[in-house]
Structure 1
């Protein structure tokens, strides 16, 4: 992948939506929830007022309507500002 976000923007690969419920019921595409977490693929350098906290390979949570969906090499990705990220998930 050959893309570098600018300033305080982050490129995220969303985690796929759940295909089944815990009880095994298959969820149709029209009822799937938009993913609220994903993996950071690339991050900008930050701004003079705000340094970048997130980095590549961080798993993050973001708002339901955060970011702009783009398609790159046939893959749907999100690009958003670091301030749209709600949390970094640590294992």
Structure 2
């Protein structure tokens, strides 16, 4: 994890974002939210994805919002965007994403 620009704390995730990895990813995201700064989640080196991974991103943004923090996604992989599209969540994903791959 590193401090990003514009006052955001940036956490870079890598590897699979599926049901089997959620506990570890969730703990990383909760720790990042606990820093107390707006959060940028870099997803460039993540994959494969499943719906559980997308649900975790929804949960992270909601947790940040409850804590008064902005949570933004960057470098969202195409496969994640495709899952959002199939799930009817494209508009939500676009609303929290700064960049797609």
Instruction: Mark yes or no: TM-score above 0.5.
Output: no
Please state which structure has a larger fraction of its residues in helix: 2
The TM-score with structure 1 as length reference comes to: 0.23
The TM-score with structure 2 as length reference comes to: 0.22
Please state which structure has a larger fraction of its residues in strand: 1
Determine which structure has more spread, i.e. the larger CA radius of gyration: 1
Q: Taking CA–CA contacts closer than 8 Å with sequence separation of 6 or more, which of the two structures ends up with the larger relative contact order?
A: 1
